[in-house]
Each structure stands twice: as C-alpha cells, then as structure tokens.
Amino acid sequence: MSQLDSIIAQIAVALSITSLDVYVFFWLLVMMGIIMAMGLTRIYSTFFGTVLGMGIFVLISTILSPEFQTPETLSLISDTFAKVLIGSSVYLIFILALLVPMNGGINVSLPKSALGMIFQTLILSFILVLFLLAVFLGLVDKSYIFLHTDSAFILMNKFASFSELQSSLLFVFVSSHLPTIIILSIGFIIYKMLFADIVNTTMAGLIENIKKKKVTSGGDHHDRGHEEHGEFMDEGFMEHEEGHGGHSGHGHH
C-alpha cells in the first residue's frame, strides 16, 4: 500500500466512510476549485448555458415526441430522424455550458463586498457541481426527464469503475434527489436572471423608507420636546413676573 493509500484509509476510518468516498470528496474539492477559478460571472454563465441547453432539449423532445406526432408532422420528420434529433439535442446541455461563458457570458448583479463575492462563489461552485452531476447521472441512468433518451452517456454503465463510483455517498445522494436538484437549480438561475434585481431594488427602497420614517418621527419628537420645554419656560417666566409685580405693589403701600 502506497503512502497516499494509507492516508486515504486513515481519513476513511476517522470519518467512518469508505476510501472511495474520500476519493470522491477530493474530486469534488478539485472540481469546486476549478469552477471557483472561473470567477463568479462565468459561474453564472455556465449555469445559464446548462439551463438553456436543457430548455432546448426539453422543447425538442416534447414537440418531436411520438405522443404529439400527427400524419402531417410525420411527413416532415420521420420517427427515426426525430429520435436522432432528440438524442443529439441532449449534448447541447454541456456544449452550451462551455460556449456561453466563452462568448462573453451574461450580465448579473454581483455582491459589492469581497467577503460576499467569496461566499457566493463558494456556494455556487458547490451547487453547480451538484447540478451538472445530476444531469450527467440522469443521462446515464435514463431517469427523470431523460427517461426515453438514448445517448452516449448510457455507455458509462458498461465500465465497472463507474458502477463502483455510483455506490459512493455523493453519487447516491445526487441520484436519490436528482429531480429536486435539477428543479431548484433551474429555478435559482431563472430567479437570478429575471427577478433578483427587482426584488433587491424593492427591498432597498423599503428599507430606505423605513429609515426615513424613523428619522422623521425622531425629529418630530425632538421638536415637540423643544416646544414643550419652551412653553414650560414661558409659563415659569410669566409666573415669575406676576410674583415680582405682587411684591412691588406691596412695597408701594
């Protein structure tokens, strides 16, 4: 056993997991490091490219599905050619995930603080790895929206090493939550692209209005205090004058 294998075995024993899980964990860290090095803008662009590719795949697989075919559409596109198009469109998911960030990417609002940038980059790198892994496993196992899709990814099942990988904790977790991971990832990037700026602007305006109301109410309270203090001083002054007037009259008599 090499020194590396010995270290891996010790880590596995300490964490009560298998050596395979340790290797997969290190692979996850390496992938996250590569994605983080891309920068936050390119991470968002990769997210968007992946979702765009999935949207095109779902659209093509839906309109060319045998369930929706009519004699007219079959005269335009045969059933065999439709299956080829559906099987080919699935590769757009990963092709666009690479092409979109390479061609300028997308414009999204980014955190202003350095700490916010680091935190968001770390979290999004982890989510993106899970998202891409979920799509990949869905294609390999022909599950979820890829149920009737034939592609080269299904050949991965013929490799014994890949079958062993599928027994790791990470792969089991992603496979068991595959629809949830895909839906939440797509929902997140749609929210970020369409609604995040609107929500942030609305919240900022609301907070600003609350601050202004607090300042205004505080100023009014301060002014009322001055007025009450002034009235009290005026009343005291008048009482003092009346007292002096009474004393003067008594002295005159």
204 and 173 share one domain: no
Q: Supply the DSSP string of 110-173, one letter for each residue.
A: --SSHHHHHHHHHHHHHHHHHHHHHHHHHHHHT-GGGTT---GGGGGGG-HHHHHHTTSHHHHH
Report the candidate in 94, 97, 99 with the shortest Cα–Cα distance to residue 48: 97
Domain boundary among 194, 209, 243: 194
Distances (CA, A) of 70 to 60, 73, 80, 235: 15, 5, 15, 95
Domain boundary among 178, 194, 210: 194
244 and 125 share one domain: no
Q: Which domain does 222 fall in, by range?
A: 195-253
Q: Distance between alpha carbon 234 and the CA centroid of its chain, in Å?
A: 63
54 and 128 share one domain: yes
What pLDDT does 222 receive? 52
Walk along the chain (253 residues) and give the pLDDT tens digit of each residue: 578 888 888 898 998 899 999 999 999 999 999 999 999 999 999 999 999 999 999 999 888 887 777 888 778 888 888 888 888 999 999 999 999 999 877 888 888 899 999 999 999 999 999 999 999 999 999 888 888 888 889 889 888 888 889 899 999 999 999 999 999 999 999 999 889 889 988 998 999 899 888 877 765 555 555 555 555 445 554 454 555 554 444 444 4
**Contacting residues for 197 by C-beta, under 8 A, at least 6 apart:** 109
Domain boundary among 143, 178, 194: 194
Beta carbons within 10 angstroms of residue 136's beta carbon: 15
The residue whose two tokens read 């795949």 is 57
114 and 214 share one domain: no
What pLDDT does 250 receive? 46
240 and 188 share one domain: no
23 and 87 share one domain: yes
What pLDDT does 223 receive? 54
180 and 200 share one domain: no
82 and 146 share one domain: yes
Question: Phi then psi for 221, rounded to 5 degrees?
Answer: -65, -40
Burial 149-169 (b: 16+ CB within 10 A, else e): bebebeebeeeeeeeebbebe
> How many structural domains is the chain composed of?
2
Expressed in percent and rounded to 5, the helix, strand and coil fractions of the chain are 85, 0, 15
55 and 145 share one domain: yes
The residue whose two tokens read 């929500």 is 199
132 and 208 share one domain: no
153 and 88 share one domain: yes
Report the candidate in 123, 65, 58 with the shortest Cα–Cα distance to residue 93: 58
176 and 205 share one domain: no
